[in-house]
Amino acid sequence: MTATTNKPQLPPGPKDMKVKQAMNMGYGLWDYLKQQQQAFGDYFTLRLPGQGPMVILSDPQAIKDVFSLKPEQYDASKTQLPMDVGEDNTVFLNQKAHQDSRKMIIPPLNTNRLKDRAGVMHEIVTEHINSWMVGDEFNIPRLVGDITLDVICYTVFNLRQGDRKDNYKRLMLGWLLSACSDANFAIGSMIGAKRYRGMLNKQYLKRTQQRDFGNGEKGLFPWKQAIDLKVQLADLIRQDIRAIRKRMDANESHMLSIVARATDEDGNLLAEERVISETVGLLIGGHETSAATSAWFMLWLLKKPDVLQKIRQEVQASIATEGHFDPLKIAELPYLTACLNESQRLTPSAVGTVRWLTQDTRIGDAFIPAGACVFPCIYLTQRNRRVYGEDAEEYRPERWLEGNKFGPNEYFPFGGGRRACVGMNQARQQLRIIFAEFARRVTFDSVHAHTDQWPTPRQIGGQTEPEAGVIVRVTGIRPHNADYPHARTEPKLAQPAY
């Protein structure tokens, strides 16, 4: 821990070369972070290529200070995301522009709209499970990623079926996989993420102007395919924006329509590129995060059959009470909620969040110089014995049902403060519905169910995932109305809200 001082000073940290530190962070990072915490305490500094020093924090007081920073105390444009989302995306904006932008993207994600969407989310999960056969093999993060894309097609573009939806899905997945590739992230970290995404964006704008869509195939350079697919995806979104602006239908509540019809302070519609930028931003925000979270949750359930059984019983009890699978009731089930919370506590998909300081700043016990970035470490803080007790490292969902209250500086898998995740409620609702139906209707087998070993975590697209995913084999599927009190009456599937 750094002593209180009047001179800003970086906390100590490992002396390894920057490239070595980056490699340790990319592969097996949880052990690496733990080792550094044991060596240096709750404040230590890592040095990575292409960026300034990064101060890793796991003291809850320091986390509280970071989440209370004033907007002028940090610069989000330095965020180390080497993907071309457009520089005027919410994630990179600062101060008033950032607040205004959040005001624009939060309404489509508000509680009432989420309630409207729960039925369709359940319908999508049901369709997926109904299409499986015993013996099918899946990689859980890719499977949940696929379900998530269907949900995004509905919530963002109001598309449930058809060629246009298939086209969106193909382009979104292709672009995400290509832009998140190890090669693109490695180049971004070597030359600096901001510089790299600036270069990609310039190419994208030039190609868009020339209407040069490319062939979407891999090329000599790792960025070629990502640019091709972004040009193609943006073209589809642009067509939709124009159609929405012709209709100007205030009854439409899908995200693209709300953002495309939003106006700035002077009453002007936003530039098309800005709307495209926010749309692909929501896609990045919602896809890999949910895929990675589901991979870790599935691992816990495979290793803890008693927990899975209790979830199954809780879901069946809800169906017995309601007479059917009520997705809103299911999304509020206390034990299921506790199990997902506990998974996100011990195995969060984001290892931490970042703020790049623009001024010398006191954070907890440290006085950190301008230019450094502070990193509230979700992984380390959420395993703190002082907060969670002696069994902090154990997966014990009951801790959430015993009247404990963990503060926003002690449990923050969705970040915190003014920049906390805008999609938290949507993500939670969606994951609870997916896992409730997995638990109730499907039995899976996997090598992970037969060993105490945990796979090595690695960074994929900025998220932490098990290095080879989580491969499962379907060993049994129950009909969707298996637990319904009047099983011969087909339950009515939800109607789209618009």
- Cβ of residue 19: shortest distance to ligand HEM, in angstroms? 26
Helix (H) or strand (E) run with residue 99 in it? helix 95-105
Q: Which CB atom, from 397 or from 417, has the smaller least distance to ligand HEM?
A: 417
- Cβ of residue 349: shortest distance to ligand HEM, in angstroms? 5
- Cβ of residue 414: shortest distance to ligand HEM, in angstroms? 5
- Cβ of residue 234: shortest distance to ligand HEM, in angstroms? 18
Strand partners for 463: 460
421 binds ligand HEM (CB under 6 A): yes
363: three-class secondary structure by DSSP: strand
- Cβ of residue 95: shortest distance to ligand HEM, in angstroms? 12
415 binds ligand HEM (CB under 6 A): yes
Q: How long a stretch of residues is the chain?
A: 498
The only residue of 26, 119, 141, 413 in contact with ligand HEM, by rule CB under 6 A = 413
> Which range in 239-247, 258-266, 385-393, 420-428 contacts ligand HEM by CB under 6 A?
420-428
- Counting Cα atoms < 13 Å in the Cβ hemisphere of 110 gives 10
The only residue of 419, 432, 448, 480 in contact with ligand HEM, by rule CB under 6 A = 419
Q: Which CB atom, from 88 or from 322, has the smaller least distance to ligand HEM?
A: 88
Ramachandran area for residue 260 (φ above 0: left; ψ -120 to 50: alpha; else beta): alpha
What phi and psi values does residue 45 have, to the nearest 5 degrees?
-110, 130
> Which range in 203-211, 225-233, 284-292, 438-446 contacts ligand HEM by CB under 6 A?
284-292
Q: Any idea what the Cα angle at residue 357 is, between residues 106 and 281, rounded to 5°?
A: 30
What phi and psi values does residue 438 have, to the nearest 5 degrees?
-60, -45
Which residue, chain included where needed, has tokens 């972070």? 33
Quick note: the x/- pattern for ligand HEM over 291-330, rule CB under 6 A, is: --x-------------------------------------
- Cβ of residue 331: shortest distance to ligand HEM, in angstroms? 14
- CA distance readout (Å), 332 to 94, 112, 117, 325, 441: 34, 15, 15, 12, 19
The only residue of 86, 119, 286, 457 in contact with ligand HEM, by rule CB under 6 A = 286
> Which range in 20-28, 80-88, 114-122, 279-287 contacts ligand HEM by CB under 6 A?
279-287
- Cβ of residue 288: shortest distance to ligand HEM, in angstroms? 9
What phi and psi values does residue 341 have, to the nearest 5 degrees?
-55, -45
The only residue of 25, 91, 256, 276 in contact with ligand HEM, by rule CB under 6 A = 91
Which residues, 6+ apart, have CB-to-CB distance to 494 below 8 Å?
A: 118, 119, 120, 122, 123, 327
The only residue of 90, 126, 158, 429 in contact with ligand HEM, by rule CB under 6 A = 90
353 binds ligand HEM (CB under 6 A): yes
Comparing C-alpha atoms, which of 416, 304, 399, 298 is closest to residue 350?
Answer: 416
Site residue total, ligand HEM (CB under 6 A): 25
Comparing C-alpha atoms, which of 317, 310, 318 is closest to residue 338?
Answer: 310
CA distance linking residue 99 with residue 424, whole number of Å = 17
Q: For 45, which DSSP code?
A: E
Which residues, 6+ apart, have CB-to-CB distance to 48 below 8 Å?
A: 18, 21, 22, 25, 54, 189
Helix (H) or strand (E) run with residue 149 in it? helix 140-157
423 binds ligand HEM (CB under 6 A): yes
Quick note: the x/- pattern for ligand HEM over 185-224, rule CB under 6 A, is: ----------------------------------------
- Cβ of residue 438: shortest distance to ligand HEM, in angstroms? 16
289 binds ligand HEM (CB under 6 A): yes
108 binds ligand HEM (CB under 6 A): no
What phi and psi values does residue 105 have, to the nearest 5 degrees?
-90, -15
CA distance linking residue 269 with residue 194, whole number of Å = 27
Q: Which residues bind ligand HEM (CB under 6 A)?
A: 90-91, 102, 109, 281-282, 285-286, 289-290, 293, 349-350, 353, 413-416, 419-423, 426-427
